[in-house]
Structure 1
C-alpha cells in the first residue's frame, strides 16, 4: 500500500509539474470538458467561470485547438494520497491563463497569512524511507521530506468590508508560506496566486473569493 501511495504521489507531481493555472473565458459562464481533443467527444465535466484548474502548456497549446486540463475533484484540494483530479480537454479559445489577467491593485480585497515557527505539538508524523510524508494525516506542502521551518496559524481575508472565515483545515497543510503573492480580479471574484517553498519542495496555492466567502482552494506540487 505504501508503494502504491508513493507511485500515485509521484504521478501527480509529474503531471502537475508541467502545468499552469487557468480559468475559463466563455460568455455562457461555463465550458464543456471533453474526454478527447475534439468537439464530438463525450462531455465529462463542465468548468464554470472563475473556477481554477491546471492546463498543460508543454503539450502544444500554441498549435493545438484542444488543451489538456486537470480539474480538481473537490474545490478545496483536500485529497492527500489518491489522484485528486480528472483529465480532459477544452478548446483553446475558452482558456484564460491566470497570469494573463491584469493584477488587482485596489483596496476592496485584503489577504494575509499569519505565520509562526513550526512546532509539532504532538501531531502524528508518517514517514516514508525516513522522509516526512504527512503530519496529522495531511500532506506537508512546501518541504522535500524534512520538517518545515514555518507553519500558518491563521488566514485573514476581507472582501469589500466583509471578513471571510477560513477554517483551520484549509491552511493546516500549508508550510513555508510567505505574504508575497499576486491578486487578480475577474468579474465578482478575487483570485490569490502564489508559489511557496523551502527551496526544494515548491508548490502552488490558488484561493478564490467572492463576497459570499471562499469558493476554492487549489493546491499543487511543482518541480
Structure 2
C-alpha cells in the first residue's frame, strides 16, 4: 500500500509536459514550498540550496515543483533557476529504481537511486539505495537489500541501514542496530564517513517497564542467559532506574554466572548501552 500511495501521488505530476530540472535561487539557503500558488498559502515543506527538483513552467509567476520523494507544491518563479545537467540512475536498478534524491555542490552532482517504501518525518525509507556521482558515473556506496533510510541535511546525504538484531525472537521486542554511512562535502573533496553503534529500541510506558522487569527478575534462575541479557539491556535503555540497576549488576543477580559466551554477550550489551548514553 505504501508503494501504491506514493506512485499515485507522483504519477499525475510527472505527466506534465513542461517538466524541467531546477535549483533554488535564494540567498537564505532554502525556499519554502507552498500548498497553493500564492505567498499567503500554507508552507508544506522546503527545498534547500543544492537540491535538484523538477518544476513545470506552465504557470505565470508561481510554478508547480516536486521531488521524487513525494514533496510537491508551488514556488515563486523568481526563486527557481534551471539546472542544465544529466542526473539519473545511470542504468542502475530494475524497473522500480529511480533517482530518489539529487544534489549538487562544489561541481559534483549526486543522485540517490533505489526503491521508496515510504516517506515520513523528512526521512525517505526504502531498499537498494545507491549514491552515485552523476558526472563521473562513480558508485559511492554498496547498496543493501536491508531496509534503509535516507536524509539530506546541511549539505550531507546520510544513508542508514537497519537490521533486526540482537534480541532473541523468543521475546516480543527487538533492538534495532543502526549503522550510518554518511556522505558529505568538504571544499571540493567528497568524503565518506562510517559511524557504527547507535541503536534504536522499543519505548515502554511506566506500567510496561514494571511488568517486564518483574518478569525478568522472577525468571532469571531458569531463563536463557542470552535472552535475559538482551531483555535487561532494552529495559535499561528506557531510563528506568531499577532497570538500569539490574542491568549493570546483572552478574550479581545471576550469582556470577556471566562467563564464556554469556560473559562476551554481556560485555557487548554494556558497550551498546554506553554508546546509546553518550
- Structure 1-normalised TM-score? 0.39
Task: Please identify which structure carries the higher helix content.
Answer: 2
Larger radius of gyration: 2
Task: Please identify which structure carries the higher strand content.
Answer: 1
